[in-house]
Amino acid sequence: MPALQNSVLSPSSAYSSSFYPFSFPGQWDVTHATSRTAPSRWVQKISHNHGLEFLQHFNINYKDTGLFGVYFVSKGDDLVNSEGIMRSVQHEWKHLAVAVSEEETTLARNQLRTELYQNLETNTQKAEHNAKELLYTGNVRSLAQIEEEISKIDHNTLRAAVFRHVYDRDTANVGVGLTEAFMSYAHLRAAMSWWRL
């Protein structure tokens, strides 16, 4: 593999309304026509540095637990580049935990709505969503109820969720390809807890 593919994961919340804030950071790849003109402050910073080719945050939720993390692909030609990517990711997580604004939260809520409704366009997708809702929560929320829950998320809710589930947590790191270019676990873990300083 001529690239470094890596995921960094942290424990997250169970499947419920509280999982929505973890969809906020977003994604970017090199084929996007935006970098310094992207609507996201974070994408503007990270998209043109460190040999990054693809980056996506994800949140996978189950009935009683979840995983929040980031998946990225980079050229993997230099340890400094992969360390720069992870530092940028951790700085964004820090920003979400302590300084995210209401304007950024509004933009993220709108992006979340778009993504949610795109994932419910077909009958198969809607059936899968309903099955997951029934399996994990015991009932099926209507789209109006989901919309109401998304509308309740403000910058304080987002800050609290990230601080509770991401700050000072151990991570699981998985890599494929040029993994020798990825920073050590000790450095990554140490950077997960210096935020409050």
Mean pLDDT by 10 residues, the chain (197 residues): 81 68 66 68 75 85 84 88 88 86 88 86 92 87 89 89 84 90 88 67
Q: Which domain holds residue 90?
A: 4-101+155-191
Note whether residue 127 is domain-resident.
no
Given a contact cutoff of 8 angstroms between Cβ atoms, the answer to whether 64 and 70 are in contact is no
Note whether residue 51 is domain-resident.
yes
Number of independent structural domains in the chain: 1
**Of 183, 137, 178, 176, residue with least CA distance to 18:** 137
Note whether residue 8 is domain-resident.
yes
The pLDDT value given to residue 122:
92
Residue whose token pair is 């974070």: 42
Note whether residue 41 is domain-resident.
yes
- Helix axis angle, 155-165 relative to 79-98, nearest 10°? 130
Look up the CATH number of the domain holding residue 27. 3.30.830.10
The gap between the terminal CA atoms of the chain, to the nearest Å, is: 39
Note whether residue 35 is domain-resident.
yes
The pLDDT value given to residue 197:
47
- Strands, E assignment, 75-194: 172-177
Note whether residue 177 is domain-resident.
yes
What DSSP string runs through 37-98? T-SSHHHHHHTTSTTEEEEEEEEEE-SS-EEEEEEEEE----HHHHHHHHHHHHHHHHHHHH
- ∠ CA 78-6-17, rounded to 5°: 140
Note whether residue 123 is domain-resident.
no
Buried b (16+ CB within 10 A) or exposed e, 91-129: ebbbbbbeebeeebbebbbeebeeebeeebeeeeeeeeb
- SS3 assignment, position 179: helix
- SS3 assignment, position 105: helix
Given a contact cutoff of 8 angstroms between Cβ atoms, the answer to whether 98 and 195 are in contact is yes
Note whether residue 144 is domain-resident.
no
